[in-house]
Amino acid sequence: MHPDLRRGDKGEAVVRLQGLLNKLGSMLVPDGDFGPGTARAVREARAEAGLPPADHADETLWRWLEAVPEPSHDIPTEAVGFIVRHEVSSRGYYESHLQAPAYPGAESGVTIGIGYDLRFADPARF
């Protein structure tokens, strides 16, 4: 049985929930504070899971999140989240500046993802 968590809750259960939400790319700092970022991530996860809209993590969402595969077989979710947060800085910055392919110029190629410069990818590797 999992706790029904909502905005304002704090503690280890929230840390666990934030870790599970990070498997979906939520970019949360697992700080144990169910604040606005965690609430947004919960709403997005519920939508992705096909669950009714809500701002709380209920038993159904917990079970769905636990079944979501890890983003990498080689790197733990915590490490992926740490790298993404430090490369991108925030979800807002990603959405406003990095979501679309970009050409930074000079020696670079078109960048189509965080750290994925097409200059270094031949057609077979792409």
Position 4 in a domain: no
- Phi and psi (nearest 5°) for 102? -140, 150
- Select the highest-mean-pLDDT range: 25-29, 41-45, 99-103: 41-45
- E-strand ranges in the chain read 111-113, 116-117
Does the pLDDT of residue 99 top 80, yes or no? no
Does the pLDDT of residue 101 top 80, yes or no? yes
120 & 70 share domain: no
Q: Please answer whether residues 47 and 69 qualify as being in contact, where contact means their C-beta atoms are separated by less than 8 angstroms.
A: no
103 & 79 share domain: no
**What average pLDDT does range 4-20 have in this prediction?**
97
Q: Please answer whether residues 57 and 17 qualify as being in contact, where contact means their C-beta atoms are separated by less than 8 angstroms.
A: yes
24 & 80 share domain: yes
65 & 119 share domain: no
Position 1 in a domain: no
CA–CA distance, 99 with 86 (Å, rounded to integer)? 16
Q: Please answer whether residues 21 and 38 qualify as being in contact, where contact means their C-beta atoms are separated by less than 8 angstroms.
A: yes
Does the pLDDT of residue 91 top 80, yes or no? no
pTM of the model: 0.76
Instruction: Read off the pLDDT band of 86 (50, 70, 90).
Output: confident
